[in-house]
Structure 1
Amino acid sequence: MQGIKSLLGLICLMLSMSAQCADKVSLQLKWTHQFQFAGYYMAAEKGFYKEAGLDVSIIPADPNHPDTFPKVLSGKADFAITHSGILQKRQQGAPVVALGAILQFSPYCWMVKNNSDIFQPRDFAGKKLSKIGSIENAELLVMLQRAGLSLESLMAASHEGGVKEWLAGDLDAVQVYVTNEPYTMTLQGVGHRLICPQKFGLNVYGDILYTSEQFLAKKPEVVERFYRATLKGWRYALLHLEESIDVTKQHYASHKSVQELAYEAHVLASYIQPPGINLGNMSMAKWRLIADLYGLDQDEFDQAFDGFMYDQQQTEGIELSWMLILAIILSIACVPLYIRLISSNRR
């Protein structure tokens, strides 16, 4: 009996120690909670982060200040999500490292009304547009520039406002996130159509998961474990959409309806893992095309790209999680106690 008590005590002690040893890290989202971040939620809810020895805090963005770069560069967040403008940030000297592209295509589009005479980029000439950022949504501007519209004319045609002004007729086209405003307009019975960069050959990445050079240099094994657990979470989310929608609704995005989250999941699934492309995939060739959007020449690109794209620390194969390692340690530690217990019982 004394041996059993000792064994149980040892198990409890080691479990307690393992919980205390979990690495605490933070993930800064680029927007408020929604299905867009379901892979991270499922990595947390299904224990994938815990299995990797991580205690992850998932932090929603402040809608008024959604830029995640200040948080990561100041060390207030260990990981974050951003747009393809991260390459330009890197070229400007920001020590950031892209871990993976969760969205293989840009989710930003122009939205116009069904009765609009805008059908393709060249039709935007002389139209009133909502203002957009030159970094975050650069692909929206570049799409129009490639159709022959000058940046100066586009800036002159840009006005403050959003969907409200668009509905009132003060804007001819408004920038939208493919799963948000279009869904709301559909519910309200407002006829609309989307003009998206992807349909006109501008396939830029969206939702880039990244960290800082400093954090990667300091804790490379933590970055690797977080990266792998995150991809595992996304794989689970895509294979169990209904469960992922329920988890997102119950624990994160209670302000959204199940129908809204389901629509978001349906649309984003093809952005996250299109046929023939690995989850989180990034390539130098595609980043080269993105560099062109930001006007980076070959030398600037080469300089910015050096160390920019994360190089995995391990090859694919069998991964020993901290739980498995703990089980092995416990098994080894318990052998002498088991032998002693058996011996005492025989006496």
Structure 2
Amino acid sequence: MDDHTPSTPSRSGEASFWNRPRTRRAMLRTAVLGGAAIGGAALLSACAPDASSGSGPSSTSGKDLKKVKVALGWVTDVGFAGYYLAIARGYYADEGLDVELLPGGNNTPLPPVRVASGAADFGIDASMRQSLEAIAQGNDFVILGAHNQEDPTGLISLAKRPVKGPKDLPGLKILSQQGTQQLLEGLYKVNGLTPDYTFVPAGFDIGPLLAGQGDAYNGYVTSQAVTLETQHKLKKGSGYEVATYGDLGCSAYANLVTCKRSFATANREAVVGFMRASARGWQDNADDPKAAVKLVMEKYGVDLGLDEQQQLRSNELMIPLTESALTKAKGMMRMDAAIVKEKMYPWFELVGTQLPDFAKVFDPTVLDEVFKKGPRL
């Protein structure tokens, strides 16, 4: 993404179905046919730096650890904070695991492709729709949980023309990437509104919104909104507003954890251990957002030209999206199958998503085992 500030990589491109949907669906079909194995493996060697692997101090203690690879849906910025903390604090090693994180980003295989090809054991997929389509197209994946209870994608606007909810949608000029028109129309249709918006093509830089080229920008509320705060000194509620897709009636989980069904069956203990350690990491991140930022700046994102202030603010904005009434009652990373069926699937169907039977692809028993003693680990 060469059209935004180099020091702040935009995470808008992380949500597959917001951008280049045809190309990415084609990639998923390739994975189903097995053709991604060679290409995926070739690309992996170029995109998995040594700094992203290892299970922390305990991994060198002589304990025989099981090696697992985890495909991330984007570059190693603060968006994967819980996994960094779980590595650094030895939580995976406690479970007998040596976890290697495989960074994503432009020109790298998507998590479903890496898992389907066998290049990764787990995928952390930013897009719920992408994960579901990968399964519907023939991949026998199991969904284990999601570290985002709400997708951070949303409409970002300025105070002079604020967008806070569905009532503010009529007549908008929306800055967005090509290929997102069907999704934007869905925001209107799900609310019983005529899609009377004006589409204004934009990249991943929020500058055009500040220049008055549109009323709202379709992006990540944990990314471009941070740019408004840190670079332009605007404040939410007085200088700018955000409305997530959930605020606009189109909720979705994000950053789903998936693996092959065969892997989950053959490695039940490791799968439970991975989810338990990951949940501990996300608990820690909610308690102290600065700790993971330190890891990003000193290790995981050291070559990405990231801004520490932006990473911290992004994490602060992300933490509420990793928590919900469900996580408080039953533990981190939980998913509610009833909510998926009643609220999320109708929205996905409205925008033409190919969907599997969620009851058959979601396995809540792993996190049931993780949190059998209560919601806090």
TM, length-normalised to structure 1: 0.73
Q: 1:16 to 1:186 in 2, by over 3 A?
A: closer
Q: Contact 1:109 / 1:196 at 8 angstroms: preserved in 2?
A: yes
* Stretch moving more, 111-120 or 177-186: 111-120
Q: Contact 2:275 / 2:370 at 8 angstroms: preserved in 1?
A: no
* Stretch moving more, 34-43 or 61-70: 61-70
Q: 1:243 to 1:315 in 2, by over 3 A?
A: closer
SS in 1 for 2:247: helix
Aligned to 1:104: 149
Which amino acid in 2 is paired with 1:290?
M
SS in 2 for 1:279: coil
Aligned to 1:342: none
- In 2, the alpha carbon distance for the partners of 1:286 and 1:213 equals 23
2:207 matches 1:159: no
2:304 matches 1:258: no
Q: Contact 2:175 / 2:201 at 8 angstroms: preserved in 1?
A: yes
Q: 1:317 to 1:141 in 2, by over 3 A?
A: same
The correspondence for 2:220, drawn from 162, 177, 194, is 177
2:86 matches 1:43: yes
1:174-253 equivalences in 2 (<5 Å): 174-189=217-232, 191-253=239-301
Aligned to 1:306: 360
- In 1, the alpha carbon distance for the partners of 2:201 and 2:138 equals 31
2:79 matches 1:29: no
Q: Contact 2:73 / 2:104 at 8 angstroms: preserved in 1?
A: yes
- In 2, the alpha carbon distance for the partners of 1:267 and 1:40 equals 18
Aligned to 2:102: 59
- In 2, the alpha carbon distance for the partners of 1:123 and 1:317 equals 43
Task: Give the drift of 1:126.
Answer: 5.8
Q: Which runs of 5+ in 2 are unaligned?
A: 1-58
1:265-276 equivalences in 2 (<5 Å): 265-275=315-325, 276=328
- In 2, the alpha carbon distance for the partners of 1:32 and 1:114 equals 31
1:237-281 per-residue CA deviation (whole Å, 9 max, x = no partner) reads: 222333333223222233333322221222122111235342111
Q: Which runs of 5+ in 1 are unaligned?
A: 1-14, 319-347
Task: Give the drift of 1:117.
Answer: 6.6
TM, length-normalised to structure 2: 0.68
Aligned to 1:143: 187
- In 2, the alpha carbon distance for the partners of 1:282 and 1:243 equals 26
- The higher relative CO (CA closer than 8 Å, separation ≥ 6) is in 1
- In 1, the alpha carbon distance for the partners of 2:172 and 2:308 equals 40
Q: 1:219 to 1:239 in 2, by over 3 A?
A: same
Q: Contact 1:30 / 1:60 at 8 angstroms: preserved in 2?
A: yes
Aligned to 2:113: 70
Aligned to 1:90: 135
Between structure 1 and structure 2, the one with the greater Rg is 1
Aligned to 2:37: none
SS in 2 for 1:231: helix
Q: 1:219 to 1:262 in 2, by over 3 A?
A: same
- In 1, the alpha carbon distance for the partners of 2:186 and 2:357 equals 23
Task: Give the drift of 1:48.
Answer: 0.9
SS in 2 for 1:203: coil
Aligned to 1:81: 124
Q: Contact 2:92 / 2:277 at 8 angstroms: preserved in 1?
A: yes
Structure with the higher fraction of residues in helix conformation: 1
Q: Aligned residues: percent identity?
A: 24
1:103-130 per-residue CA deviation (whole Å, 9 max, x = no partner) reads: 1112111122332375544534362431
Runs of 4+ in structure 1 off by over 6 angstroms are none
Which amino acid in 1 is paired with 2:357?
Q
Task: Give the drift of 1:18.
Answer: 5.0
- In 2, the alpha carbon distance for the partners of 1:269 and 1:187 equals 18
Q: 1:128 to 1:200 in 2, by over 3 A?
A: closer
